C-alpha cells in the first residue's frame, strides 16, 4: 500500500509539473524555506520564511531583519525568533538585503524611494513578503510585526513609519529614527551625519518626518519598542533619545516617561503611556538582541506573555 501511494504521489507531481503548475514549498518546523516569487520586489531582495507545524488558523507574522553584512538565514540561526515561533505558533519572515552600503549588504533606509510609502526599494519588497505570507499561510493581517538588529532595527522604524496600516507594532534593536540618513553617501559609519554622534533634531521635526511619509494618514499608529546598548559606538546610544522623541511626538505624548523600571539587572526601561517603551542596556555595545530580548519583544507585541 505504501509503495502504491508513493507512486501515485510521484505521478500526480509529475503531471502537475508537465502541466506547468509549480507548487510553492510548504514550510515546516525546523525548516527554513526560501520563496523566490513573492510579488513586487523592487529591492531585489531574498525571502525566507519559517512556519511552525503547530499554529492557529490565523497566525501572527513577525518580520525579523538582520544587520549589515548579514542575511535572513543568518538571523534565523543567530536569533531566538524561530524557537519562539515553535512555542507560540507565529510565522517568521526573514528578508535578506541585497543593497551594498560599502561594508556589506544593508537594508535601504537612505534613498528617496525608501522614504516614501509605495516609493519602491526594500520597503515595498518587504510588504510584498507580508502579503504573500498572508495569502499562502493564512497569516493574520491584524497581527503583523517588525523587528530587527542594527540595519534591521533601522528598517523596523522605516516600516512602521511608511506602513502604519500594515504593522501593529515593532521592536527596533540598535536602530536610528526614520529619515535619519540624508542619502547613500551619509550611510557608512565614519562619514555619516546620522550616526556620527551629533545628530539632534527636535521632536516636532522627527515626528513631521513620519507624518510626511504617508500624507493624510489618520489611522492608528503601531506601538514601538526601542533597544540600545549604552556602550554602542557604531550606532551611538544618543540616537535612542532621538528615536524616543520621534515616536512620542507621533503619538502626541510627553517627553517625560509615565514610568521607569529595571525588569532585569542592567535593563533600564522607560515607558511612555502604552505606546512607546525604551530599553537602555547598561554596558552593552553593538551586540543586541541578546538572550531573552526576543521574548520581551514578543510580549510587547501581544504574541506571548512573560
What is the full DSSP assignment across 20-87? T--PPPPP-TT-EEEES--S--TT--EEEEE--SS--SS--EEEEE--TT--HHHHHHHSSHHHHHHH
Q: What is the distance between the alpha carbons of residues 151 and 88, in angstroms, rounded to a whole number?
A: 26
**Active-site option among 121, 150, 151, 280:** 150
Q: How many CA atoms lie within 13 A of 14 on its CB side?
A: 6
Known catalytic residue at 150: yes
Please, what is the end-to-end C-alpha distance for the chain in angstroms? 48
Cα 9–Cα 34–Cα 125 angle in degrees, nearest 5: 130
- The Cβ of residue 96 has, within 10 Å, a number of other Cβ atoms equal to 20
**Taking a C-beta distance cutoff of 8 angstroms, is the pair 118, 137 a contact?**
no
Q: Provide the H-helix boundaries in 93-235.
A: 121-137, 151-162, 203-213
- Whole-angstrom distance, CA of residue 68 vs CA of residue 101: 8
Q: Which residues pair with residue 299 across a beta bridge? A: none
Residue 284 in contact with residue 290, Cβ under 8 Å?
yes
Q: Is 303 exposed, middle or buried (0-12, 13-18, 19+ CB in 10 A)?
A: buried
Q: How far, CA to CA in Å, does 46 sit from each of 39, 65, 112, 181? A: 11, 12, 22, 24
Catalytic residue numbers read 150
Amino acid at each position: 500500500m505504501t509503495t502504491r501511494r508513493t507512486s501515485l504521489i510521484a505521478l500526480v507531481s509529475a503531471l502537475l509539473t508537465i502541466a506547468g503548475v509549480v507548487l510553492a514549498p510548504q514550510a515546516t518546523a525546523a525548516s527554513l524555506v526560501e520563496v523566490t516569487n513573492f510579488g513586487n520586489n523592487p529591492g531585489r531582495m531574498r525571502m525566507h520564511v519559517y512556519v511552525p507545524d503547530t499554529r492557529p488558523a490565523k497566525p501572527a507574522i513577525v518580520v525579523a531583519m538582520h544587520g549589515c553584512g548579514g542575511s535572513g538565514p543568518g538571523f534565523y540561526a543567530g536569533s531566538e525568533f524561530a524557537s519562539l515561533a515553535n512555542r507560540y505558533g507565529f510565522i517568521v519572515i526573514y528578508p535578506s538585503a541585497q543593497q551594498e552600503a560599502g561594508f556589506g549588504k544593508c537594508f535601504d533606509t537612505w534613498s528617496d524611494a525608501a522614504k516614501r510609502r509605495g516609493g519602491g526599494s526594500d520597503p515595498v519588497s518587504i510588504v510584498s513578503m507580508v502579503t504573500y505570507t498572508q495569502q499562502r499561510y493564512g497569516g493574520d493581517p491584524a497581527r503583523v510585526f517588525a523587528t530587527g538588529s542594527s540595519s534591521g532595527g533601522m528598517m523596523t522604524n522605516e516600516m512602521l513609519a511608511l506602513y502604519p496600516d500594515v504593522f501593529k507594532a515593532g521592536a527596533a534593536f540598535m536602530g536610528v529614527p526614520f529619515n535619519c540618513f540624508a542619502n547613500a553617501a551619509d550611510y557608512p559609519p565614519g562619514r555619516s551625519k546620522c550616526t556620527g554622534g551629533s545628530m539632534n533634531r527636535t521632536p516636532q521635526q522627527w515626528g513631521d518626518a513620519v507624518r510626511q511619509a504617508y500624507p493624510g494618514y489618520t489611522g492608528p499608529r503601531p506601538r514601538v519598542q526601542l533597544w540600545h546598548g549604552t556602550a554602542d559606538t557604531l550606532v551611538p546610544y544618543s540616537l535612542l533619545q532621538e528615536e524616543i522623541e520621534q515616536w512620542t511626538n507621533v503619538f502626541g505624548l510627553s517627553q517625560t516617561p509615565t514610568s521607569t523600571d529595571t525588569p532585569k539587572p542592567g535593563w533600564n526601561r522607560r515607558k511612555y503611556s502604552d505606546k512607546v517603551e525604551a530599553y537602555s542596556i547598561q554596558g552593552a555595545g553593538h551586540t543586541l538582541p541578546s538572550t531573552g530580548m526576543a521574548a520581551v519583544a514578543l510580549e510587547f507585541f501581544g504574541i506571548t506573555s512573560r
